[in-house]
Amino acid sequence: IGGERDLSSVVTLPNIMREFNFKLYGQSSGNGNQNSSSAVFNVAKPGAVSADMPGQANLLVDRMIEYLGVNKFNSEWKLVTFFIGGNDLCAYCEDTV
C-alpha cells in the first residue's frame, strides 16, 4: 500500500518521499503478499518474527539485484524500513509456560 495514490489522499513514507523525487521506485501497491508482482521490494511476510529477518533481508537483496542489476544496486541510495518485534510480543503473550 505504500505507493498507492498520492500524499494528498494516503500518507505513507513513499508518498512523502515522492514529493521530493518523482522517480522513486520499489514501493508496493495494492493487496497481495511478498510474491505478488505489486510487492516490488516489499518482502514483509505476515506473522513473521525477528528470527525470520535474515531470510527476508536476503530475499530483499536478491530481488533488488535482479531488478536493478549489480552496478545500479551498488551505486543507488536505498531506504529500508523494518517493523520488528510485534509478532514476537504476540507469541510471548500466548506462551503458557
Is 1 a member of any domain?
A: no
pLDDT in tens, 17-30: 999 999 999 999 98
* Alpha-carbon torsion, ordered 51, 57, 84, 93, to 10 deg: -30
Is 5 a member of any domain?
A: no
Alpha-carbon span 92 to 89, nearest angstrom: 5
pLDDT in tens, 57-86: 999 999 999 999 999 999 999 999 988 888
Q: Chain-wide mean pLDDT for the chain?
A: 90
* Number of domains composing the chain: 1
Mean per-residue pLDDT, 26-38: 90
Is 7 a member of any domain?
A: no
Is 60 a member of any domain?
A: yes
23 contact partners, CB below 8 Å, separation of at least 6 = none
Cα maximum dimension of the chain: 51
Is 6 a member of any domain?
A: no
Nearest Cα to Cα of residue 79 among 35, 21, 37: 21
Predicted pLDDT of residue 96: 64
% pLDDT > 70, the chain: 96
Is 85 a member of any domain?
A: yes
Is 31 a member of any domain?
A: yes
Domain with 38 in it: 13-94
Is 8 a member of any domain?
A: no
> First vs last Cα of the chain: how many Å apart?
38
